[in-house]
Amino acid sequence: MEELKRLEELTEMDEKHRLVGAICGAVPSLERMHDVLSKERLNGQVPEVIRNQFNVARNMALYTYYFYALAPEVNLKTYTLIEHALKLKTKPEKHMMLARLLRAALRNGWISDAGFRHIDNPSQDNEWCKAMLKSIPELRNSQAHGSSMLIGDCIDHISICADFINQLFPDDKSGQ
């Protein structure tokens, strides 16, 4: 059960990292986490409101070093950032649900598998993006409506979020 940390524990790595590290063989380093997160950037064309909240998400991810249970909240933040960015991109006249916004992004060619750095062999058919049409709303809803799921990896979510948003607002002048 989670408890309020004692004051003297606030600047110590969360013990859960050591426990997970014993299983997976890697314990995080604050310096490495900062280095990785500092390299995640949004394009200059991304609206300021999204860039600001992306920085909030990066800082939240950094603080998971001290409080492991923040990771699911970081993941939820990435889903809401993607949804907010999609709303700004589509400028819907009426309320659109996340799944519909995602479908619009894929249909309009705003996102593709090739735009995600973690995909080694992107599908021409955008199979990964098609899978996101279902998975992102489900993951967002599971976190937003209560879940006891404790996910330690939030840095990959930050990377995927950056790739997604950067595709919506590319730096080039191609009109996308």
Backbone angles phi, psi at 29, to 5 degrees: -115, 135
Tell me how far apart the alpha carbons of residues 137 and 85 are, in angstroms, rounded to a whole number.
Answer: 15
Residue 92 has pLDDT above 60, yes or no: yes
Residue 109 has pLDDT above 90, yes or no: yes
Encode burial over 84-113: b for 16+ CB neighbours within 10 A, e otherwise: bbbeebbeeeeebebeebbeebeeeebbbb
Quick one: pLDDT at residue 23?
Answer: 84
96 SS3 class: coil
Residue 83 has pLDDT above 70, yes or no: yes
pTM metric for this prediction: 0.90
Quick one: pLDDT at residue 104?
Answer: 96
Residue 175 has pLDDT above 60, yes or no: no
Percent of the chain, pLDDT > 70? 94
* Number of neighbouring beta carbons within 10 Å of residue 166: 21
Average pLDDT of the residues in 3-30: 89
- Report which DSSP code applies to 166: H
